[in-house]
Amino acid sequence: MELLFLGTNAGMPIRDRNVTSIAIKLCENGGSFWMVDCGEGTQHQLLKTPLKLNRLNKLFITHLHGDHVFGLPGLLSSRSSLGGTERLDIYGPNGLRELVETSLGITETYLGFPLNIVEIQEGMIVEDEDMTVVAAKLDHRIESYGYRMVERERTGALNAQWLSEMKVPPGPVYRELKSGKDVTLDDGRVIRSAEAVGKPLPGRIITILGDTRPCDNAVKLGEGADVLVHEATFAHELADKAHEYGHSTALQAAQIAHAAGAGRLFITHFSSRYKQEDLAELVAEARSVFTHTDAAIELKPYPINLSLLRSM
């Protein structure tokens, strides 16, 4: 799994940064990926990545401000034009259905795939064999959500050295053992999966928050997360301005990450007043509270590893 930030600017695009969108590459699932938010220009950013739009299968909208949704109609149209036929699930606040259906209807845009629009409430919104997703409201000027994505426990690693010492031939036998099945070899020996496979690996936790002031739900959603993505629209010297507009500072994002016990913090959604070279100051401000902070860089892949804090 990895994160790919497709846009990190707030309000409108600037020369060095696009508006908000994040792709979540699900490496174990054959190239499929999810997205959170879809600002204007998102599909153009996707063209600069290895991701294929017709492999997008879930899209989560945090809130309906334009810098988070103006790219949605075009992205849906292009997904259809590129031959996407599998269902796309879109989750988001009240009004999402009207936004999508009105824009597609007025423009007479035909989609060659089923579109499932879910206007969410707080709580569990996705529960499948691979992941669960919980949503909770944040504190912004309009209805805004954060999402906590939890990977299910994974099968432990094969003890290849032990299997080699036991002269177990690689191939189908390994796959059987990995799937939890005991195997009887041609010589009559029984190899137990429990002996050949290590302890189950805990699932990774990703928390991605929409625009918000500091609030209790931000901490709850980020509790023990391996990765927390939090907006940092302003430096803390503009804390009053951040509060007025329903946003957070870099320092406040770090305080949330610290309170949540997160493993790593990515700050994003930067005001246009900060050029790319200014982001180091925001990072330094955040690191004064939470050391494991980085400013999200667009189109740079960030692997999602189990955090050191959770593996200790």
CA neighbor of 260 nearest in space, from 285, 229, 297, 296: 229
Q: Tell me which residue has tokens 């930067």.
A: 270
Residue 236 is labelled as binding a ligand: no
Distance between CA atoms of residues 133 and 207, nearest Å: 9
* Catalytic residue (choose from 37, 67, 89, 278): 67
Strand, helix or coil for residue 311? helix
Residue 65 is labelled as binding a ligand: yes
Q: Which two tokens stand for residue 213?
A: 């002031």
Degrees (nearest 5) of the Cα angle 138, 139, 142? Answer: 95
Sign of CA dihedral 76, 2, 51, 27: negative
Distance between CA atoms of residues 44 and 18, nearest Å: 10
Q: Which two tokens stand for residue 4?
A: 């790919």
Active site includes 240?
no
Strand, helix or coil for residue 59? strand
List the beta bridge partners of residue 25. 2, 33
CA dist list (Å): 227 to 47, 215, 307 = 25, 18, 8
Degrees (nearest 5) of the Cα angle 135, 153, 59? Answer: 35
Distance between CA atoms of residues 147 and 206, nearest Å: 8
Residue 139 is labelled as binding a ligand: no
Q: Which letter does DSSP use for residue 98 in this model? A: H
Residue 68 is labelled as binding a ligand: yes
List the beta bridge partners of residue 146. 136, 209
Catalytic residue annotation: 67
**Binding site per annotation, positions:** 63, 65, 67-68, 140, 211, 269
- Binding-site residues for Zn(2+) sit at 63, 65, 67-68, 140, 211, 269
